[in-house]
Amino acid sequence: MAQAQAADGPPDFKPQFAGIQKGSSFRIEAWMPSEIKAVSPLVNRLMRLIEGSRCIFGEEHAVELALWEALNNAVVHGNRLDGHKLVQVRCRCDSEKGLLLVVKDQGQGFDPNAVPHPTSPENLSADHGRGIWLMRVAMDEVSFEQAGAEVHMWKAPSRGPRRVSRPSLDAAKHALYSGRGAIR
């Protein structure tokens, strides 16, 4: 098991990675403390590996958005910012099978079906519920396991034109977080 420190992370943050890398595919497992400051360094590190593998070429921005949202939800909602709890990420990237990301927190879980749709008029000013929607927009498949404490996200390998472009993802995120509502 190798340890790595993100060059752009806080000096006390040491993400731990364990993985196998071979050709255009790899598997990796990482753990981070339930602290907001730990999210960006881990996302940056994983995205460099994903981009280097080219397993989802052209879809990196969509995956980055979904990963960021899943980690943020695990830290804030799952582990409730308890720095003693960990968030686990498992990543499998293969140029033939695409990308599978699993984010697991140590919280009590939740019912994803109970989260109201963020673009409904009555929810436009809500301060939560957008992360799940953004993950579903960005990824090809999203499911929740372990009573909602684990999110599985899959992105197919690129086989042609990009389905979701960075501008459309940026527009979706901006519209939702600025309270403008649904994307047209």
Q: Would you write out the chain's pLDDT as a tens digit for each of its 184 residues? A: 334 434 444 445 455 555 545 447 899 999 999 999 999 999 999 999 999 999 999 999 999 999 999 999 999 999 999 989 999 999 999 989 999 999 999 999 999 988 888 888 888 887 777 899 999 999 999 999 999 999 999 999 977 544 454 555 555 555 545 544 433 2
3-state helix, strand, coil in the chain (%, to 5): 35, 25, 40
CB neighbour list of residue 120: distance below 8 Å, 6 or more residues apart: none
* Eight-state DSSP code of residue 182: S
Number of CB atoms found within 10 A of residue 129's CB: 15
Main-chain dihedrals φ then ψ at residue 149, nearest 5 degrees: -85, 0
Rounded to whole angstroms, how far apart are CA atoms 99 and 63? 9
pLDDT value of position 10: 44
This prediction's pTM:
0.75
pLDDT value of position 7: 41
Whether residue 66 contacts residue 135, with contact meaning beta carbons closer than 8 Å, is answered with yes
pLDDT value of position 118: 87
Element (H, E) at 2: strand 2-3
Domain architecture of the chain: domains with CATH: 2-177 (3.30.565.10)
pLDDT value of position 169: 55
